[in-house]
């Protein structure tokens, strides 16, 4: 993708140098940048919009780029921030909770299938030292750092407990006998 930008406008010598610098530094990373933005948002039209805004912001601030070796990370940072700005501006429609419950929408009714009940039972069978960090991460969206702070553990210890909790949960759900030899080795 080393194609040049549209050159139909006559540019001054300084603008021409600026354009050449932008093309030389930024355009080789367009494919990587597109993949990165698409990976973040999983939406092609949003990816194209963010790409356009990212390259426009990069064009406007190409003079502030100090080290040319940092172009890729610089572009990725601009893209990540532009995507965040997009979601900050997006206003989600809200409705009154009582009105939603009165509508009788099937999505609002608690699912009481056997799979859900089995999962709940398996979660409750986990040792608290495994269940607590798993619930904090999955249900409450805590990061491993936040879990570590809350539980007064190191981040590697939290990661170990999360791994073991998932492993034990998977075994319980598949009906396999859990490997009890590792339970006593809590970090």
Number of folded domains that form the chain: 2
Residue 80 has what pLDDT? 94
Cα separation, 85 vs 182, whole angstroms: 45
Burial 59-81 (b: 16+ CB within 10 A, else e): eeebeebeeeeebeebbbebbee
Of 3-12, 45-54, 90-99, where does the model show the most confidence? 45-54
Cα separation, 98 vs 92, whole angstroms: 18
Domain of 173? 110-182
In a domain, 94, yes or no: no
Beta-carbon contacts of 144 under 8 Å, excluding residues fewer than 6 positions away, are: 137, 155, 158, 159, 162
Same domain, 17 and 82: yes
SS3 65: coil
Residue closest to 126 by CA, chosen among 83, 91, 89, 172: 172
In a domain, 104, yes or no: no
Residue closest to 78 by CA, chosen among 106, 54, 45, 98: 54
In a domain, 156, yes or no: yes
Average pLDDT, the chain: 83
In a domain, 23, yes or no: yes
Given a cut of 50, whether residue 183 has pLDDT beyond it is no
Same domain, 120 and 154: yes
Beta-carbon contacts of 85 under 8 Å, excluding residues fewer than 6 positions away, are: none
Convert the pLDDT of each residue in 69-102 to its tens digit: 889 999 999 999 999 998 887 766 777 777 777 7
Given a cut of 60, whether residue 178 has pLDDT beyond it is no
SS3 55: helix
């Amino acid at each position: 993708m080393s194609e040049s930008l549209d050159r139909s406008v006559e540019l001054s010598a300084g603008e021409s140098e600026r354009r050449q610098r932008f093309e030389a530094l930024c355009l080789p990373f367009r494919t990587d940048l597109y993949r990165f933005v698409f990976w973040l948002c999983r939406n092609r039209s949003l990816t194209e919009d963010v790409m356009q805004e990212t390259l426009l912001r990069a064009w406007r601030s190409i003079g502030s780029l100090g080290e040319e070796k940092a172009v890729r990370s610089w572009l990725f940072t601009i893209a990540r921030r532009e995507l965040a700005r997009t979601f900050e501006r997006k206003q989600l429609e809200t409705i009154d909770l009582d009105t939603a419950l009165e509508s009788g929408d099937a999505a609002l009714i608690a699912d009481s299938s056997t799979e859900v009940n089995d999962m709940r039972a398996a979660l409750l069978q986990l040792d608290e030292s495994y269940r607590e960090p798993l619930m904090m991460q999955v249900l409450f969206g805590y990061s491993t750092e936040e879990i570590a702070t809350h539980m007064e553990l190191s981040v590697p210890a939290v990661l170990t407990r999360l791994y073991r909790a998932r492993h034990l949960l998977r075994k319980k759900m598949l009906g396999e006998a859990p490997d009890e030899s590792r339970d006593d080795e809590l970090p």
